[in-house]
Amino acid sequence: MKTFSNYINGILTPPISGNYLNNYEPATGKIYSLIPDSTDLDINMAVIAAKNAASGWAALSNEQRSDWLMKIAARIEQKQEEFAVAESRDNGKPISLARTMDIPRAISNFRFFANAITQFGGESHHMQGIGINYTLRQALGVVACISPWNLPLYLLSWKIAPALAAGNTVIAKPSEITPFTAYLLSEVCIDIGLPIGVLNIVHGLGPKVGDSLCTHHDVKAISFTGGTATGRRIASVAAPLFKKMSLELGGKNPNIIFADCDYDQMLKTTIRSSFANQGQICLCGSRIFVERSIYDRFKIDFVSKVDSLKIGDPVDEDCKMGAVVSETHLNKVLSYISLAKEEGGSILCGGHRKIMHGRCAEGWFLQPTVIEGLPHDCRTNQEEIFGPVVTITPFDSEDEVIMYANSTEYGLSATLWTSNLGRAHRMSEKLVSGIVWVNCWLVRDLRTPFGGMKNSGIGREGGYEALRFFTEAKNVCISY
Ligand code: NAD
């Protein structure tokens, strides 16, 4: 059985306690590796390594740091297939998705910020006849990057890359549920000879090792992606310590479909936006609102397409839906399906655990599920389920659907299908949501601000927003 190590001060390091956690393969429900059950002792060691490396790394030119990020990207690219197989095995996602989305995007994250840092500048403000101000953007020092299990390397690298590019040294805490590709990233850093202490990766449980990272005096900023409850906990311990925080949290995204949309394109994309990665993408649209005049047609076509989605062993090339990430998560999603029934919903398809045969007989598979007949304000339509479960609801007017869409505590993303340009602009303005996709879904330009409103988070990632987060602005005022 493979045993992973932490990556501290440039070397693979076992946890000081000597304790390990089981790591499961969702498709089989079996333990296949062990990860360090790290403690504050490991965090202390990582912080010392990161502090020692900080001034040297910050002193490199932007071009030199950019070169290191390019080297990381190139090495991951060389090992792309090994990374994709690991991601699929660890998370339960189809191998085709890991190959076409997760790993290519992780590579792009490093390349994107390697380029962005060479174009990043400070502002200057001229005061006529008096003087000039210029703003330095300096690295913060040691920063924490904490990521969830749904897009493991994709989201971890989305934080590590801008943090390193801006001249910080990093302690990364990947999800304990999906540690494999973060471990492979340690090997990449060793292979390319990344200066020691610049990046440290510490594995373990959130409330234990994550908490001690967030409360460590020498950690200056926390970039966190995960659930809203965890974000609240982190904010409660880190805010009194005046740490900078970027929190990317949960969502309950609306997918709004008007009768005048390009129907075929909408239908194809709505299958993806509902069930990609088993519905475990924070940007998936789990509340589908359909204009009443096409509701019945949509319902028949959508349910028939969902019924034909191929659930399979994630290693199969033609698998479209793999396993959900853990048994706990499977049971959570199933409990929401029971709740939907109690609340009066009708299950149009799915609704049960999918029992597989052979290697996957004990795997955590779930049928993609479509539910109708629920009011917009019931718990099923208000709480994040984060699995292959969507509700469909008819609407009659723009005002009505805006009210439905904005009625949750979340505001991460929204999808809008219409060919009416005026309506697209009007609705985009009114949606309380950090991201609005019109006639598309998950089309990403890495320069754009990414993040949520309300309880979906604080701050924005992406492009210069991320570089600004990972730097401190210092204004210098010079009198003539
Ligand atoms: P989670 O909050 O349980 O865990 C996320 C990370 O935080 C893990 O690494 C975990 O170990 C760590 N953690 C847990 N408790 C901690 C603590 N007290 N202190 C510090 N770290 C701690 O989330 P999850 O179940 O891994 O991921 C699913 C959630 O992530 C969903 O709510 C989803 O919407 C959200 N998500 C949001 C985005 C976004 O961009 N907004 C993207 C992906 C996922």
Q: What is the CATH number of the domain that holds 346?
A: 3.40.309.10
**Does 200 lie in the same domain as 127?**
yes
User: Are residues 351 and 323 both part of a single domain?
Assistant: yes
175 shares a domain with 227:
yes
* Catalytic residue from among 145, 261, 282, 360: 282
Per-residue pLDDT at 127: 97
How far away, in angstroms, is 370 Cα from ligand 1 center? 26
Is 211 a pocket residue for ligand 1 (Cβ < 6 Å)? yes
In this predicted model, what pLDDT tens digit does every residue of 389-418 receive, in sequence order?
999 999 999 999 999 999 999 999 999 999
| Total tally of structural domains belonging to the chain | 2
Domain that holds residue 373: 254-450
Q: Are residues 397 and 472 in the same domain?
A: no
Beta-bridge mates of residue 34: 3, 22
User: According to the model, what pLDDT value does residue 135 have?
Assistant: 97
154 CB-side CA count, 13 A: 22
pLDDT tens per residue, range 256-310: 999 999 999 999 999 999 999 999 999 999 999 999 999 999 999 999 999 999 9
In this predicted model, what pLDDT tens digit does every residue of 445-472 receive, in sequence order? 999 999 999 999 999 999 999 999 999 9
Q: Are residues 76 and 205 in the same domain?
A: yes
What mean pLDDT is reported for the chain?
A: 98
pLDDT tens column, 47-99: 999 999 999 999 999 999 999 999 999 999 999 999 999 999 999 999 999 99
Please report the atom of ligand 1 found closest to the CA of residue 250: 34
Can you read off the two tokens belonging to residue 381?
A: 């339509």
Please say whether the beta carbons of 269 and 359 come within 8 A.
no
CATH code assigned at 469: 3.40.605.10
What is the rounded average pLDDT of the residues 413-442? Answer: 98
The structure tokens 């052979």 sit at 358
Distances (CA, A) of 361 to 32, 149, 312, 396: 16, 23, 11, 45
Instruction: Give the SS3 label for residue 147.
Output: coil
- pLDDT of 333 reads 98
Cα 235 to middle of ligand 1, angstroms: 13
Residues 322 and 365 in one domain: yes
Is 384 a catalytic site residue? no
Calculate how far, in angstroms, residue 278's C-alpha sits from the geometric centre of ligand 1: 17
249 lines ligand 1 (CB under 6 A): yes
401 CA distance to ligand 1 middle (Å): 29
Ligand 1 pocket mutation, candidates 40, 102, 150, criterion most atoms within 8 A of CB: 150
Identify the band that residue 365 occupies on the pLDDT scale cut at 50, 70 and 90: very high
Beta-ladder partners of 390: 370
For residues 189 and 325, state if they share a domain. Answer: no
- Classify residue 366 by its DSSP letter: B
Same domain, 238 and 293: no
Is residue 282 part of the annotated active site? The answer reads yes
**267 and 163 in a common domain:** no
Read off the amino acid at residue 245: M
Asked whether residue 146 falls in the same domain as residue 279, the answer is no
Give the C-alpha separation, 230 to 201, whole Å. 20
User: Is residue 214 lining ligand 1, measured as CB closer than 6 Å?
Assistant: yes
CB atoms within 10 A of CB 217: 8
If asked whether residues 152 and 231 sit together in one domain, one would say: yes
Q: Which residues on adjacent β-strands are paired with residue 478?
A: 132
- Provide the token pair at 144: 């924490």
